[in-house]
A and B are shown apart, each in its own frame.
Chain A
């Protein structure tokens, strides 16, 4: 499972328009392992879209290399803008799914799926039709829907056609460009479930870009955060949670909640490993005879283990809780003292503040300040 399928090395893309240069990718190193679903998240303008288009060379990177399944696509691209046959053949082995589906309106669902087969030169109209039917069946569309034109299908059905079409060339790799961003939440869940199934059934490697954390949570094994054309964080969900101060972990598992009064210590716990199956909170309460309140929690069960974050409140100032916090660390949890006094302080009274905590006002749940260890 540890074969690398996609590698980008120091990928840069500079757009020039009217003498101005805009850097969309600023040295991106990304690896996607075989059979993995990797989600690249970031705001619009972060360069996600450019990145995914550079992977199949729809956009030509200014510098850097892209390797897919051991082949250096940047070397195949040649000098001119036109794609040589070798690059086109390589592209045919990479499926791509689009936000706005990009189905031909003049072809039925089935004919849309036949299109890549025509381009691949699959002989025989009947063979192509049979293969298209199989693929549409795989993505859960009926024969009747196969005969419908895109305008007669719902958004979710259109995206299923788009996925079937992307699978037509038996790709090892699927690129998903905001595939669910134009869909409602329920349809999004169904389409993501389909992607997950295909990933498992066919061993498909999926690189997806999205601006929705829920998408990453629902289907991704790993995630990478893009900002200003760079990847600033990346790793498996467990690795990200284990990273102190990880922005992605914070956004994937947002915890809120403010202390109920003065002289309270608010602690953010991150569960990312073996500790997660133990009844940590009740052990803490029993051992030290303290009242623990849970202010907020975002937990998920991944492969039978609980991962996520929890915000709890302990009575007393930080100084009174040093032992308890040490105990939690011993259990293998990551413990951060949350700096949430700012918004809790409605009365203007002096609220407890963890020593050494960096003030990060205005970023609740995101920048859990790290306590001095």
Chain B
């Protein structure tokens, strides 16, 4: 295959992957953030302590997390058809991707929010702050760096899932790699796609790290700068 043959295929597949991942990330963040925060608030010692709600949410999240994505995707076929009207195409793939990513991100949110010092919550309560104030002024800003790191992990996981979604008609880079690399023995083309995926994941990780670092004010000194390809210092 020549580059001029590859190029249109690649750009179309990349566009599909990006659209699938972008939309499902938006939905995962929009739904996972409140679920994750609620998991903390309703737990023992939380501001909205309500153990039945907490346990129920926990079970839903655990079930969502433990189902392998392929199975989730197939199990949701009729649900997807009900929402999008079809089970083919990147729009249809967004549904199972989002459903899979919401509990994933919710757990990451929970972990991030739990790390916020209880003393800060106490301080804001002592000032007369409501639960909503605590969430808005303390829990979310103080955990922002971890939340951004969690969102980065979620995006990368979604890029992986999107390859599977492609196989059942979602399109995207994963689908392209499978069709050309596996079914037509275009190994070279497959490696090009793999390289593209590596570049994509690296860029997402770098952008996520940069965002998380600039949100983190816990260390001394001025706002951190990006250090390319150097391991994070704890």
Interface residues of A (CB under 8 A from B): 56, 58, 81-83, 85, 88-92, 94, 96, 98, 100, 102-107, 115-116, 118-120, 149-152, 165, 168-169, 175
A83 shortest CB reach to chain B, Å: 7
Q: Is the CB of B133 within 8 A of A102?
A: no
A105 with B128: CB separation less than 8 A: no
Q: Which among B20-28, B57-65, B90-98, B115-123 touches the partner chain? A: B115-123
- Rounded to whole angstroms, the CA-CA distance of A256 and B119 in the bound complex is 40
The answer to whether A91 touches B126, judged by C-beta atoms less than 8 angstroms apart, is: yes
**What are 30 A-B interface contacts by the 8 Å CB criterion?**
A58-B126, A81-B49, A82-B47, A89-B128, A90-B128, A91-B126, A91-B128, A92-B128, A96-B126, A98-B122, A98-B123, A100-B119, A102-B122, A103-B123, A104-B137, A104-B141, A104-B142, A105-B217, A106-B217, A115-B127, A116-B127, A116-B128, A119-B124, A119-B133, A119-B137, A120-B128, A150-B217, A152-B221, A165-B127, A175-B126
Q: How far is the CB of B177 from chain A (nearest CB, A)?
A: 41
Query: A100 vs B120: C-alpha distance in the bound complex, in angstroms?
Result: 10
B171 to chain A, nearest CB (A): 40
Which of A58, A120, A168 makes the CB contact (< 8 A) with B122?
Answer: A58
Cβ–Cβ contact A151 & B138, under 8 A: no
* Separation of A104 and B129 alpha carbons in the complex (Å): 14
A102 touches B130 (CB 8 A): no
Find out whether the CB atom of A94 lies under 8 angstroms from the CB atom of B137: no
A119 lies within 8 A of B127 (CB): yes
Find out whether the CB atom of B131 lies under 8 angstroms from the CB atom of A102: no
Contacting pair B128 A119 (CB below 8 A)? yes
Q: Which range holds the interface residue count of chain B?
A: 20 to 34
CA distance A42 to B49 in the complex (A): 31
Name the B residues within 8 Å of A90 (CB-CB): 128
Report the minimum CB–CB distance from A176 to chain B (whole Å): 12
CA distance A16 to B91 in the complex (A): 52
Give the 4 A-B residue pairs with the shortest CB-CB distance, closest first.
Answer: A92-B128, A102-B123, A102-B119, A88-B128
**Bound Cα distance A96, B138 (Å):** 17
Does B218 contact A102, Cβ atoms closer than 8 Å?
A: no
B196-230 residues at the A interface, CB under 8 angstroms = 215, 217-221
Cα A347 to Cα B215 with chains together (Å): 70
Instruction: Please tell me if the beta carbons of A106 and B142 are within 8 angstroms of each other in the complex.
Output: yes
B144 interfacial by beta-carbon distance below 8 Å: yes
If the complex has contacts A102-B117, A105-B217, A151-B219, are A88 and B130 also in contact, measured as CB distance less than 8 A? yes
**A165 CA to B122 CA, complexed, in Å:** 14
Contact B123 A118 (CB under 8 A): no
The verdict on B125 contacting chain A, using a C-beta distance below 8 Å, is yes
Task: Name the distance in Å between A163's Cβ and chain B's nearest Cβ.
Answer: 12
Q: Is the CB of A105 within 8 A of B127?
A: no
Q: Are B128 and A82 in contact (CB under 8 A)?
A: no
Residues 167-206 of B contacting A (Cβ, < 8 Å)? none
Q: Report if A92-B127 is in contact (Cβ < 8 Å); known contacts: A102-B119, A104-B142, A106-B144.
A: yes
CB neighbours (8 Å) of A103 from chain B are 120, 123
Chain A, Cβ-Cβ closest to B223: A149
Q: Of residues 40 to 80 in B, which have CB atoms within 8 Å of A's CB atoms?
A: 47-49
Contacts A102-B117, A118-B137, A119-B133; is A56 near B126 (CB within 8 Å)?
A: yes
